Amino acid sequence: MQHFQFYSAKSLGDALRFLSEKGERTKIIAGGTDLIPKLREENSRPEFVLNILEIERLSGITELNHILRIGSTTTHAQLVESEILQRSCPSLVQAAASVGGPLIQNRGTIGGNIANASPAADLAPALLTLDAEVVLMSEKGTRVVALQDFFIGPGKTVLNPNELLVEISIPLPKGQTIFLKLGRRQAMTLSIVNVAVCLEMEGRNCRNAKIAMGSVAPTPIRCPQAEILLVDKEIDPELISKCAGEAMAMSKPLDDQRAKAWYRVQAGAVLLRRALLQAAGLRNE
């Protein structure tokens, strides 16, 4: 690895001060599961690596006034074990449990999964259907960005070099949430396609629908044209198939080393159909 200097921030203020001076030349490390392999690459040469794992303020899951707040250094394992999340956002728990394996889940963080901004990021589709917002802080102030607006391309986000992703906030969801992932194996696999849905049902009638997909576009995406097909409608398998088809029509998948684009379109539609049927109560797992 190219040489860098290591600094462990003792507090949030400490980290923000560091980033305001040196942010452009710094890589932030939390779990390191994405960063450390990248640091081994020739063209990665940060001058500084800033460790944020010692900042207590950044970890933990709380609920206040119907808003869930998840600290950015909360690990995937902590998301999986969280009773609040198991009760209120099962899709986020399912997504976290699908990332890597236990060793990766014990270190990798929600903030890292988001900030790394892989189009295949597994937490992203779940968070998109939960209307998640990210809280970004710098010495100059705080801004809150809807997750939809946070990703701008593969590995690219609106995070400024002087900013730190501090927290993810999620309004307590009202519907059934499901996350499904297709990979080449059952663990330790990047997604070929991943989907998340949130359906608010009243009997067979859908009051509200949110659909998101990953690995089928330059960023994880919501599918509003597909969502509209379900709102205020009686849900049945035929409508769900139509909706899944519409969502795939919106996607822009690529051929890559994991799968061809045509396969992603077909498999994505299957995954979406299953997720929607499950969320609508028309299918058991």
Partner 1 sequence: MSPKVNKTLLKMVVNGKAVEVMVNPTWTLLKVLREELGLTGTKKGCEQGDCGACTVLLEGQAVNACLVLALQAEGKEIETIESLGTPECLHPLQKSFIHHGAVQCGFCTPGMLMSAVALLRKNPNPSVEVIKRGISGNLCRCTGYAKIIQAIQNLSAFREEMIQATRD
101 contributes a contact to partner 1 by CB under 8 A: yes
282 contributes a contact to partner 1 by CB under 8 A: no
Burial 90-116 (b: 16+ CB within 10 A, else e): bbbbbbbbbbbeeebbebbbbbbbbbb
5 contributes a contact to partner 1 by CB under 8 A: yes
Cα 90 from Cα 94, distance rounded (Å): 6
80 contributes a contact to partner 1 by CB under 8 A: no
Cα 138 from Cα 166, distance rounded (Å): 10
Nearest to partner 1 of 1, 231 (CB atom): 1
Kindly tell me which residue out of 12, 22, 27, 53 binds partner 1, with binding defined by CB under 8 A. Answer: 53
Report how many residues bind partner 1 under the rule CB under 8 A. 29
2 contributes a contact to partner 1 by CB under 8 A: yes
Kindly tell me which residue out of 14, 22, 39, 200 binds partner 1, with binding defined by CB under 8 A. Answer: 39
Burial 217-234 (b: 16+ CB within 10 A, else e): bebbbbbeebbebbeeee
Cα 36 from Cα 244, distance rounded (Å): 37
Kindly tell me which residue out of 15, 19, 26, 31 binds partner 1, with binding defined by CB under 8 A. Answer: 31
Cα 211 from Cα 220, distance rounded (Å): 11
Strand-strand pairing, 26-29 and 48-51: parallel
- State the nearest-atom distance from the C-beta of 189 to partner 1, in Å: 10
Pattern 107-146, partner 1, x by CB under 8 A: x---------------------------------------
